[in-house]
Structure 1
Amino acid sequence: MNLNQVTLSVNNMDDAITFYLKLGFTQIVDTPHYARFACPQGGATFSLSLSTDQIIHNTTIYFEHQGLDEWIAMIESRGITLLQAPTEESYLWREAIVADPSGNKIKLYWAGENRLNPPWRVEKRYTDLCNSL
């Protein structure tokens, strides 16, 4: 199993597309109500869906890049304002925060080995749950 994509709702498709292009993503689908982007590395994609409803921002999307500080310098030079400068977090990730024009919270980070293997990692599976019942 693999995560295919995440879709964010946006109020203004043109502003959102410009924002994500400034972050360095490649747009691969372009319609008036839907846009899809490929990440520069790996096979991950994400999309934007135009919404006329009030958007409730309960989701945060994370994008990881080993060269976080260089990436931050690049996007700031393109006019993107940080809500939080790169910070060493207690969960062993270095992350910055931005928001897209619709208010979606975006965390830009580097976690390295700690993303999948933090010191507090556990191994739980559905089969483990079934065997304990």
Structure 2
Amino acid sequence: MHLNQVTLTVNNMTKACEFYLTLGFTQIVNTAHSARFMCPDGEASFSLTLDELQLNMSDNRTVIYFEHEQLDEWVNQLIKKGIEFETLPTDQDYLWREARLFDPAGNKIKLYWAGENRLNPPWRVTIRDN
């Protein structure tokens, strides 16, 4: 089984597409109400859907994570391109290094590097359905 995609709601498709293109994603769908992007590595993708009526995105609790081995370099490149961060790369107690930012619609984004700890943290459990 594969996770196909995640869809984020935005209230300005043009601004949102420009933002995700600046982050380095490849746009593969472009309509007035929908956009889809591929990640630079692997086959993962995500979509944007337009909801112009949702002017206040502050109630949005969605968080999308993008992993990159050279996190600090990536963040520095994005800062040079004008991307603003809420927090710069910081080591977390759950063994990930992450930076936090928001897209133009207020969707929370975490850029991170977890390495082996992403799927195999020291506290990993195995639960089997019998």
What is the TM-score normalised by the length of structure 2? 0.95
Higher Cα Rg, which structure: 1
RMSD over equivalenced CA pairs, Å: 0.9
User: Is 1:85 the equivalent of 2:71?
Assistant: no
Q: What is the correspondence of 1:42-81 to structure 2 with a 5 Å cutoff? A: 42-54=42-54, 55=57, 56-81=59-84
Given the alignment, which residue of 94, 119, 122 partners 2:122? 119
Q: Distance in 2 between matches of 1:93 and 1:36?
A: 27
Kindly provide the CA deviation profile for residues 67-93 of structure 1, in whole angstroms up to 9, marking residues without a partner as x.
101110111111000100100000000
Kindly provide the CA deviation profile for residues 37-71 of structure 1, in whole angstroms up to 9, marking residues without a partner as x.
00000100001000123243111000000010111
Q: Secondary structure at the match of 1:2?
A: coil
Q: Distance in 2 between matches of 1:34 and 1:28?
A: 11
Which residue does 2:97 correspond to in 1? 94
What's the offset of the Cα at 1:25? 0.3
What's the offset of the Cα at 1:106? 0.1
Q: Secondary structure at the match of 2:28?
A: strand
Kindly provide the CA deviation profile for residues 97-133 of structure 1, in whole angstroms up to 9, marking residues without a partner as x.
01000000000000000000000000113x2xxx3xx
Q: Mark the runs of 5 or more structure 2 residues left unpaired by the alignment.
A: none
Stretches (4+) displaced over 4 A? none
Identity percentage over the alignment? Answer: 63
Which residue does 2:106 correspond to in 1? 103
Aligned residues: 127
Q: Distance in 1 between matches of 2:90 and 2:3?
A: 27
Q: Mark the runs of 5 or more structure 1 residues left unpaired by the alignment.
A: none
